[in-house]
A = this chain, B = another copy of it.
Amino acid sequence: MPVNPRGGTILGLPVVNDIGALPDGVDIAVIVRPAEEVPDILIQCGKKGIAGAVVVAHGFGEWGDNGSATEKRLRNALAESGVRIIGPNTSGMVNCTAQADLIGLPELPPKGPVSVLTQSGGMILTLLEDNRSINGPGFDVIVGLGNQADVGYDELIEELGRRKSTGSIAIYNEGFANGRRFIEAAELVSQNCPIVMLRGVRSIEGGKAALSHTGSIAGADEIASRVLPQKGVILVDRSDELLPIAALLATTSLPKLQTGVAVLTDGGGHATLAVDALSRAGVPLASLSEDTKARLRKVLGEEATVGNPIDVYSAINALPDVFPKCIEILASDVQVGLVLTIGMFGGYHIRFNEALLEGENLAAEQIVAFKKTTSIPLVFHNCYANRMLKSDDILRDGGIQVFPSLDWAVAGSRALFERANWLSKQNSRDHGVTSESKRIVVPSGLSAETTAREMLQVLGVDTGEWSAASDAKSVEAAVSNFATSCAVKLDSSVVVHKSDIGGVHLGITRESARAAADDIADAMSSQITPVTNFGFIVTPMVNSGVELFVGATNDPVFGPVIVFGSGGVLVEAVKDVTFRAAPLSPLEALDMINETRVAKLLDGFRNYPKVDKRSLANFISSVSNAIMSLENLAELDINPIIATEGGIYPVDVRLVGK
């Protein structure tokens, strides 16, 4: 129902000249008037009882100072009217299932299970074309998010996740207003509905302060690339993979745990490339049972290659029906979690002989019939798939995706395994006890190390043996209390790099304790700006072990984030770190540990001690719980932590408040 003060008709439709004059029961308004008119229109919509609107106009917050006044009026109008909006500055939305096109596309996209959220109108067109070129399963709801002045990512994924008609959510994202709220929503939505995301603006990193190692290693892209999968979001690297992977996840069952892929092929080259790509993606090949191999040989002949990949080469010229037969045999092997069929099947009648067409179509029908009886996902590559073949369409109509690119088929298979693994960990993950009730405010700037350790201990982190001391005499007493030689260090909230200015003495015994304390005191008084307010911290020496790093930061996007990796002074240069949103369970911490290169040393590499990874994971988890209770946290470095056969020793702790 077009509305315009001038009245008349548009495309033959009578134009209502006032919103108030509309009949009751209008669901949604599409507002295509300039920015400055939008707030008043929203208020009129509210009065008319219209619950939602799409606001296309630009000229709001994205124009900086030029749009800020209009943006403010918009927000007031939203509050006053109670109307919920998509936009402003959006290309609009399409509900393909309801056949409502609020974008103005030349034709309604095909109805299907993939829903789309995007911060770019161009990506909507790309996804529509990509679906067209692979004859994909089609779309449910497509939303251009625009400025997200009102409805944003978190509400949208929750709503899409509730829709029976949505099988997967494909997102093109250029950043989050509130990433923490998104990952909380994503974690819940992902339990039932897969979310696949392509991220833009990855190459632009925010400038960061660097009072700590964490500050300088925690790049926005690195954090996002770990935190999003932690919450179930499947990330894709390439724009041309977003639609294929979302299509597969929306239409296909998941592999069982502890299984692998069976690759069914008709020649060596494609098989080799598939095995390589699966290996790089970390997806295992299935080990076939002897029974399976014997059954395959019956179909393919005694000479056939029935390891994995399974090569039908010798049999195929005569018989396209070997494909359904082999797929059925493979799917019955408990080791097989997914059957990936690659090569020419569907195009034999093009390559060899038109007479094979009927046999291929029949084989495709048999495969679809079998698919209804199994929960094993079937994925197809066909190098002729761009030709829109009948047999490919039979498979697709049966809910089986066929890709012209081997890389898409493999990337999709990987996504299915990634999702199956993620889901399997959801039940066993206990996020531990977060003492949310305890709130400790971190003082601004650097804290003295003893203060930092005390705060962490109160919050349940075992910071090991250490003593605070105020003068040389108490340093001596503290050293005497430890069985081994000690490190005597400056304890100050002023000095950032204490070792650079003589604030650290190592290997101190009772005999050398006073001298060490005096040396530190001398060093402090001889600074250009003498350091006056300081004490000492005494810790037992830990001589050899693996140097590790545990840090935390309050990421502007994702909130409290934990860092783990190789420790020592070279943290930034070595850059062997990984990230997770806090809090996290020991099981999640174990995943973190195993992602780093230093994990290899922890297994007892060469003369290195074998470290108890579970203790380490418990420690990381305890730090992640603690930082949830730290208000005003900017950055925390526990570096190095020395890991030995006997335990985990936090050697230095640095805490910085905002």
Taken together as a complex, chains A and B put the C-alpha atoms of A105 and B280 apart, in Å, by: 33
A209 at interface (Cβ–Cβ under 8 A)?
A: no
How many residues from A make CB contacts under 8 Å with B?
63
Could you tell me the distance in whole angstroms from the C-beta of A332 to the nearest C-beta in chain B? 27
B203 x A270 contact (CB < 8 A): no
Contact with B along A406-427 (1 / 0, CB 8 A): 1110000000000000000000
A569 x B606 contact (CB < 8 A): yes
A351 at interface (Cβ–Cβ under 8 A)?
A: yes
Of the listed stretches A18-26, A439-447, A506-514, A594-602, chain B binds A594-602
A383 at interface (Cβ–Cβ under 8 A)?
A: yes
B203 x A122 contact (CB < 8 A): no
B203 x A280 contact (CB < 8 A): yes
A239 at interface (Cβ–Cβ under 8 A)?
A: yes
Residue of B nearest to A601 (CB): B573
Residue of B nearest to A384 (CB): B129
Residue of B nearest to A238 (CB): B407
A605 at interface (Cβ–Cβ under 8 A)?
A: yes
Given contacts A133-B386, A203-B275, contact A120 B268 (CB under 8 A): yes
A125 x B570 contact (CB < 8 A): no
A139 at interface (Cβ–Cβ under 8 A)?
A: no
Which residue in B123, B343, B606 is a CB contact (below 8 Å) of A270? B123
A597 x B575 contact (CB < 8 A): yes
A200 x B272 contact (CB < 8 A): yes
| B-chain residues with CB within 8 Å of residue A276 when the two chains form the complex | 200-203
| B-chain residues with CB within 8 Å of residue A405 when the two chains form the complex | 238-240
| B-chain residues with CB within 8 Å of residue A407 when the two chains form the complex | 238-240
| B-chain residues with CB within 8 Å of residue A202 when the two chains form the complex | 276, 279-280
A269 at interface (Cβ–Cβ under 8 A)?
A: yes
A406 x B597 contact (CB < 8 A): no
| B-chain residues with CB within 8 Å of residue A201 when the two chains form the complex | 272, 276
Could you tell me the distance in whole angstroms from the C-beta of A253 to the nearest C-beta in chain B? 26
Taken together as a complex, chains A and B put the C-alpha atoms of A343 and B123 apart, in Å, by: 9
Could you tell me the distance in whole angstroms from the C-beta of A212 to the nearest C-beta in chain B? 14
B597 x A279 contact (CB < 8 A): no
Taken together as a complex, chains A and B put the C-alpha atoms of A564 and B120 apart, in Å, by: 44
Taken together as a complex, chains A and B put the C-alpha atoms of A107 and B277 apart, in Å, by: 31
Given contacts A575-B597, A598-B573, contact A122 B200 (CB under 8 A): no
Taken together as a complex, chains A and B put the C-alpha atoms of A172 and B119 apart, in Å, by: 38
Which residue in B125, B386, B573 is a CB contact (below 8 Å) of A605? B573
A118 x B605 contact (CB < 8 A): no
Contact with B along A119-161 (1 / 0, CB 8 A): 1111101100100110000000000000000000000000000
A270 x B120 contact (CB < 8 A): yes
Which residue in B118, B174, B383, B572 is a CB contact (below 8 Å) of A126? B383
Contact with B along A277-303 (1 / 0, CB 8 A): 101100000000000000000000000
Write the residues of chain A forming the contact surface with B, with a CB cutoff of 8 angstroms: 105-106, 118-123, 125-126, 129, 132-133, 172, 174, 198, 200-203, 238-240, 266-270, 272-273, 275-277, 279-280, 343-344, 347, 350-351, 383-384, 386-387, 404-408, 500, 569-570, 572-575, 597-598, 600-601, 605-607
A-B contact pairs, 6 of them (CB 8 A): A121-B269, A123-B273, A125-B347, A126-B383, A203-B275, A239-B405
List 7 other contacts, CB 8 Å, given A126-B406, A129-B387.
A106-B351, A120-B267, A122-B344, A174-B269, A198-B273, A200-B269, A240-B407
List 5 tightest A-B contacts by C-beta distance, closest first: A120-B269, A203-B279, A200-B272, A122-B267, A240-B405
